[in-house]
Structure 1
């Protein structure tokens, strides 16, 4: 299993003498940095939009609510006017710290603030788990690493079988950027993106590990697996897939052969 070390990157603001350090901290630490009832700012990494929230609950991650009606409006705008379970890379700013995190955008459960938000939403940090599975959610983890500037480093060290998990998570989140990072660069990228837009959900099971996985001198691997694919037209099918992987000799990253387009 690969590990992600607690780390930090510094962003220099060219217009001011200040610098901001983005920290990737484990939930065990963050739980004390943003205790219940604390108020902090969330910045969406992709759009730069900011809104203020209050933590109201949560033991394995933070259950938070937008502070005001205005904050709810900004959050909904980040999600293009429609609430969604899609994970997004965010920065949590509290006092003098900026923390890499991930959120989804679906109101659920109880809400106590007068903010027009019907419930609360979840904010995850490194090592956070979901209420249901009690396991770290890979989609949240990928967004945390993106927020902290460490996604490339992570993809460079994980195994082909872990790349399969990342591909599954990226497809199910509709994250074309991550898909592009783990599939061989070629003139088939647009074709792949078009194909994936027709897939709502993909589930892999019965994964057969690569025979020589973990050996440094191996530059190609094949993984056989079964997939259940749920299409945007509500169709469903089962497929036996053979995925070929190639190792980039410079970065060390494993990438999926672009022939996956035909396989899907």
Structure 2
């Protein structure tokens, strides 16, 4: 165990660094406006611009409804085509970090890419999609959806702040959410070392935590390395649903340091690397 700890300490020393943002994101500073403010800034029937953080592609939308988040529609068929291009021409529930602009205000937000429910505009978009802001929630829950939360923090360039305050179990949840959304920047930021994420994502269609026993974090004391047992429900391409009883190794470089996941060990245990 001492040898493993020393090796991981070397890795975290070499690879430690903050998240790198795409060039398209360097032009924008998205404020993390809470839902109460965003609700007023982007009221019902307001038209505004959505900018995808990763690609820099932008399109126009109109808010049509939503009391806990914004239900919006692309304005035109051209806007729908741009949105679909952002999602690699396949509609998806996956969350993405976005900037929402109204005049001179640019707000950090998150969107999904799946048409659902009702739609009123002639835009070749069968329904609406959802935009979430800081402290907004889904129709069924009062708290923020974890994946939308991650994407809002990423758009605001505050994931370092979020992860630095997180306990190991929160890091595990963020890590699995990053895998679920196929967000390489998020999972890489939470990892000790660089994994072949593209290869892993090609296999993973969906994932969720089935069981995560939580122990008091004060019991960890000044431990630098911990092993967390976890049951995971994978949905693997061409293999279907699989339940894995596994573990996740986390490490930090100091007693009050930033927990990171040994992602290569985790992916290997779950047979997700080439």
TM-score by length of 1: 0.85
Superposed, 1:67-78 pairs within 5 Å as: 67-78=75-86
- Please report the RMSD computed on the Cα atoms of aligned residues, expressed in angstroms: 2.3
230, 239, 242: which one aligns with 1:237: 242
1 CA distance for matches of 2:184 and 2:248?
19
2 CA distance for matches of 1:216 and 1:228?
30
The match for 1:51 is 59
The match for 2:269 is 263
96, 102, 105: which one aligns with 1:94: 102
Q: What is the CA distance between 1:171 and its match in structure 2?
A: 1.4
114, 118, 123: which one aligns with 2:126: 118
Secondary structure at the residue paired with 2:60? Answer: strand
The match for 1:127 is 135
The match for 2:230 is 225
Secondary structure at the residue paired with 1:208? Answer: coil
Whose strand fraction is larger, Structure 1's or Structure 2's? Answer: 1
What 5-or-longer segments of structure 1 have no aligned partner? Answer: 1-10, 14-19
2 CA distance for matches of 1:120 and 1:229?
28
What 5-or-longer segments of structure 2 have no aligned partner? Answer: 1-24
2 CA distance for matches of 1:148 and 1:171?
20
Whose helix fraction is larger, Structure 1's or Structure 2's? Answer: 2
The structure-2 alpha-carbon separation of the partners of 1:29 and 1:171, relative to structure 1 and needing over 3 Å to count, comes to same
Contact 2:224 2:255 in 1 (8 A): no
Q: What is the CA distance between 1:21 and its match in structure 2?
A: 4.7
Q: Aligned residue pairs: how many? A: 245
The match for 1:4 is none
Contact 2:75 2:121 in 1 (8 A): yes
The superposition leaves residues 207-236 of structure 1 with CA deviations (integer Å, 9 ceiling, x where unpaired) of 122554586733222211212222111333
2 CA distance for matches of 1:148 and 1:184?
23
Q: What is the CA distance between 1:261 and its match in structure 2?
A: 2.4
Contact 2:109 2:134 in 1 (8 A): yes
